[in-house]
Chain A
């Protein structure tokens, strides 16, 4: 039996086990929407802006480890999605984007709603495919899902001209696929793993530095096993939080630009560094030369060879899937008769305790104005550390990273690589669809929130009981902080004037809004909000305008060259 291209697309989604697609219709995808209408296996979630569709598919994937799918029309549909696609690309999130395209005969004619989607997205996708013949469609979809998921994951765009969705052919979905040009290495090289084990056993001041790769490869259990065998201190990038329990005594907190004093100092002064699924990016190692001033051996495990020795030279590179490599490493260490140097380790931990003594995340708990850190701490308590938390971008994002101790992976969902304001709410929607029973919270700032607030309507339509915690400081706080530190207090265009009354705003969408101005009301408000299990509640916390995120490593500085709270 022959199927139309549109029907084939839907069948491919079913074959891939996709239960939910985030999208927005338009001329070029009408046949696809018609095919969606005629079936009930794949649920479609109608967003209010294509950026929201991409972020929602992304959040869905981050919360579930499934491939997120979004569907947009040609022209403005796909250009609106680009920010979301680039966001997923920077954080290596597996996603398939189906974009409509003008009919094949109209391509290149400057047709209505024509853009070169493959050209526009090329630099921000793992791969993309323009399907010009309906007979190629099923294979293109198979490839798209295979490429998105395997190796270092990432978004793949499939651009489908309207006539291709209308034409028909026989449908056959391949069970598996092999590509001569694409064969990611999964198993680490045994010789390299052996070298790594020896370095770790010989270490005097060891450090484990983990990143998003731990989350993406579902390696949390293996990582915990490794730390247990070694007893080494462990830190994480913004993207890796939850990959190792935030409450574990071996965890020194996040490192990097707003990392803890102890994590950054230990990173700088260690003699053996094990980097796991992290990429020494500029928000972690702002100044590779300064980092290189201390002699140390570096072992780097990553699935992407191009992440290794890109910014920081590595002594023992191990290309492979993080989970598999750690598993091999743990087995090797367990079988070894040698043990880590207990005496050296004890001295190293004593040094780390001294650094911890700085209490670098200290803030004024007695403040009469609500401190943003206090809100996050209370959020942590009220949700018992067990919520899925998404965030937007800015100070609030950093305070969540510092103060919400994620014990499990896939609970912390934020745009680390691209730093996309507007990500939080649509990502929370995706996370909620992936985990209908979970408690999902979006921590946001009053500036970020206004970048995708139209999705409040989507939340109403699908009854998503997301809790939105807005740390409202009436400023683009992070911009203001940089202006205060580096631009002579000239707050150029960073004040958020003419803010809406958020509780009225959400009320008009049919949600519950609360405004909280007193520290004493913070906890009761949060409790009240989380009691409303079936409702979206927006908590507008009026916070201290002048609060800054500490510690801070200024851009381009060494990781141990932090500005601490007391130094200002």
Chain B
């Protein structure tokens, strides 16, 4: 099962490698990992997308909590949450494909950020599966480059994760 794990951790050098090292040392999967400081510059917020059985996910959260730099851990997938990922994708856009590409971008509520005679650079946000769907929907051979941030997540409603 896919899980989105949110981690609040001390914004200290080495904290990221402790988390990454934990995942590799114990053989846990990382589908994506994002991290950046929060409104409190002493804290970073990390989102990890991982897969595993319930037992594995339980171990992952326990092991993360054990890291001295980790302040809080929640498995967002346990309750209602919002997941967003940003993708920048550069595609070939010539001839009649140019219109088609614009149409697809509109359908997926993307934006064209940069235009050349032969290319579009498109910005798209959404869940990981929406971004996957866009890639599926367009002509694969038109894709020149993709950059994805990996998912960030937050709980719905009034639930908050803070120190």
Contact = CB atoms under 8 A, between A and B. Distances in A.
B38 interface: no
Nearest to A126: B68
Given A122-B17, A122-B18, A180-B163, A306 B66 contact: yes
Contact of B21 (A122, A147, A181): A122
A130 interface: yes
A305 interface: yes
Contacts of A310: 59
B43 to A, nearest CB: 9
Interface string B57-91: 01100110110111100000000000000000000
A147 B66 contact: no
Q: Kindly state the interface size class of chain A when it binds its partner.
A: 10 to 19
Nearest to A305: B62
B14 interface: yes
Contact of A181 (B9, B17, B55): B9
A187 interface: no
Interface SS of A by simple majority: mixed
A306 B9 contact: no
Interface in A105-139: 118-119, 122-123, 126-128, 130
Nearest to B64: A306
Contacts of B69: 181
B63 A180 contact: no
B68 A147 contact: yes
A185 to B, nearest CB: 11
A126 B63 CA distance: 12
A126 B17 CA distance: 14
A304 interface: yes
A461 interface: no
A317 to B, nearest CB: 11
B163 A127 contact: no
B21 A304 contact: no
A304 B59 CA distance: 12
Contacts of B17: 119, 122
B14 A181 contact: no
Given A122-B18, A304-B66, A180 B71 contact: yes
A123 B21 contact: yes
A450 interface: no
Nearest to A152: B66
Interface of A: 118-119, 122-123, 126-128, 130, 147, 179-182, 304-306, 309-310
6 contacts: A122-B14, A130-B14, A179-B68, A181-B10, A181-B68, A181-B71
Interface of B: 9-10, 13-14, 17-18, 21, 25, 55, 58-59, 62-63, 65-66, 68-71, 163
